[in-house]
Structure 1
Amino acid sequence: MTLIRDMCYPTPHELALAARTLAEERPRLVHLRRVGASRAGEPLWLLSVGGHERPGGVLVVAGAHANEPVGGATALALARRVIRGPAPRADRGWHFLLCADPDGAALHRTPRPYSLLDYHHHFFRPPGPEQPEWAPSLLPPDRLPPESRALTALIDRLRPLLQVSLHGTDLGGSWVQLTRDIPGLAEPFGKSAAELRIPVETGASDAAGWPSPGPGIFVMPEPGTPAAGAFHPEDTRLSTWYRAHRYAGTTAIVEAPMWASDLVDDPAPHPDPRGALRVLARRLVEEAARVAAPRDGIAAAEPASAALLRAVDWTLALIPRIAVEWTGPGAPAEATAAYIGSIDAFGRRLSLRAAAMLLRVLRAQGNPAAAGVDRLVTGWCEEFAARFGARWVPVATQVEHQSRIALAAYEGLTAAGR
Structure 2
Amino acid sequence: MSHLTDQRYPTSAEVVQSARELATHRPDLCHLRQVGMSRGNRPLQLLSVGHDRRAVLIVAGAHANEPTGASTVLHLAERALRDRELRSDRSWHFLLCADPDGAALHRTPAPRTLLDYHRHFFRPAGPEQPEWSPSVLPPDRLPPETRALTGVIDQLRPYLQVSLHGTELGGSWVQLTRDIPGLAEPFAKSAAELHIPVETGASDAAGWPASGRGVHVMPEPDAQAAFPSLPDDARHSTWHHAHRYGGSTAIVEVPMWASDLVDDPAPHPAPERALARLSARLSRDTRLVEDILAESLPRLPDTSGPLLRAARWALSLVPGLADDWVQPPPPDATMAYIGSIDAFARRLPLRAAAMLLRVLEEADDLAAPRLDALVTRWCAVYADRFGARWVPVAHQVEHQARTTIAAVRHAQG
Q: Where on the TM-score scale, by shorter chain, does this alignment land: which range?
A: over 0.9
| 1:228 and 2:225 are equivalent in the alignment | yes
How big is each residue's C-alpha offset from its partner over 1:326-373, in whole Å with a ceiling of 9 and x where there is no partner? 0024x3344110000000001100010011111111100010100110
Tell me, in whole angstroms, the C-alpha distance in 1 between the residues paired with 2:3 and 2:100. Answer: 27
What pairs with 1:54-203 in structure 2 (closer than 5 Å)? 54=53, 56-86=54-84, 89=87, 92-203=90-201
Instruction: Kindly provide the amino acid, as one letter, of the partner of residue 311 in structure 1.
Output: A
Report the Cα offset of residue 3 of structure 1: 12
Figure out how many residues of one structure are paired with residues of the other and give that number. 410
How big is each residue's C-alpha offset from its partner over 1:87-109, in whole Å with a ceiling of 9 and x where there is no partner? 65576210000000000001000
Residue of structure 2 equivalent to 1:38: 38
% of aligned pairs identical? Answer: 64
Report the Cα offset of residue 181 of structure 1: 0.4
What pairs with 1:202-351 in structure 2 (closer than 5 Å)? 202-222=200-220, 224-229=221-226, 232-296=230-294, 297-298=296-297, 306-329=305-328, 331-351=329-349
Tell me, in whole angstroms, the C-alpha distance in 1 between the residues paired with 2:368 and 2:31. Answer: 47
Report the Cα offset of residue 11 of structure 1: 1.4
Tell me, in whole angstroms, the C-alpha distance in 2 between the residues paired with 1:7 and 1:245. Answer: 37
Unaligned runs of 5+ residues in structure 2 are none
Kindly indicate whether the alpha-carbon contact (under 8 Å) linking 2:227 and 2:321 is maintained by their aligned counterparts in 1. Answer: no
Tell me, in whole angstroms, the C-alpha distance in 2 between the residues paired with 1:230 and 1:261. Answer: 24
Instruction: Kindly provide the amino acid, as one letter, of the partner of residue 45 in structure 2.
Output: W
Kindly indicate whether the alpha-carbon contact (under 8 Å) linking 2:3 and 2:10 is maintained by their aligned counterparts in 1. Answer: no
Residue of structure 2 equivalent to 1:360: 358
Report the Cα offset of residue 313 of structure 1: 0.6
Kindly indicate whether the alpha-carbon contact (under 8 Å) linking 2:61 and 2:99 is maintained by their aligned counterparts in 1. Answer: yes
Tell me, in whole angstroms, the C-alpha distance in 1 between the residues paired with 2:283 and 2:189. Answer: 39
State the TM-score, normalizing by the size of structure 2.
0.96
Tell me, in whole angstroms, the C-alpha distance in 1 between the residues paired with 2:187 and 2:118. Answer: 29
Tell me, in whole angstroms, the C-alpha distance in 2 between the residues paired with 1:51 and 1:301. Answer: 52
Report the Cα offset of residue 217 of structure 1: 0.3
State the TM-score, normalizing by the size of structure 1.
0.95
Tell me, in whole angstroms, the C-alpha distance in 2 between the residues paired with 1:25 and 1:4. Answer: 19
Report the Cα offset of residue 130 of structure 1: 0.2
| Change over 3 Å in CA distance of 1:207–1:406 after alignment to 2 | same
Report the Cα offset of residue 171 of structure 1: 0.1
| Change over 3 Å in CA distance of 1:181–1:358 after alignment to 2 | same
Tell me, in whole angstroms, the C-alpha distance in 1 between the residues paired with 2:84 and 2:175. Answer: 28
Tell me, in whole angstroms, the C-alpha distance in 2 between the residues paired with 1:278 and 1:386. Answer: 22
Kindly indicate whether the alpha-carbon contact (under 8 Å) linking 2:164 and 2:251 is maintained by their aligned counterparts in 1. Answer: yes
Tell me, in whole angstroms, the C-alpha distance in 2 between the residues paired with 1:177 and 1:400. Answer: 18
Report the Cα offset of residue 259 of structure 1: 0.2
Tell me, in whole angstroms, the C-alpha distance in 2 between the residues paired with 1:7 and 1:76. Answer: 16
| Change over 3 Å in CA distance of 1:43–1:92 after alignment to 2 | same
How big is each residue's C-alpha offset from its partner over 1:375-404, in whole Å with a ceiling of 9 and x where there is no partner? 110000000000000000111110000000
Instruction: Kindly provide the amino acid, as one letter, of the partner of residue 78 in structure 1.
Output: L
Unaligned runs of 5+ residues in structure 1 are none
RMSD of aligned residue pairs (Cα, Å): 1.8
Residue of structure 1 equivalent to 2:386: 388
Tell me, in whole angstroms, the C-alpha distance in 2 between the residues paired with 1:77 and 1:268. Answer: 36
Tell me, in whole angstroms, the C-alpha distance in 1 between the residues paired with 2:95 and 2:2. Answer: 27
Question: Counterpart of 2:79 in 1: which secondary structure?
Answer: helix
Tell me, in whole angstroms, the C-alpha distance in 2 between the residues paired with 1:197 and 1:316. Answer: 34
Residue of structure 1 equivalent to 2:9: 9
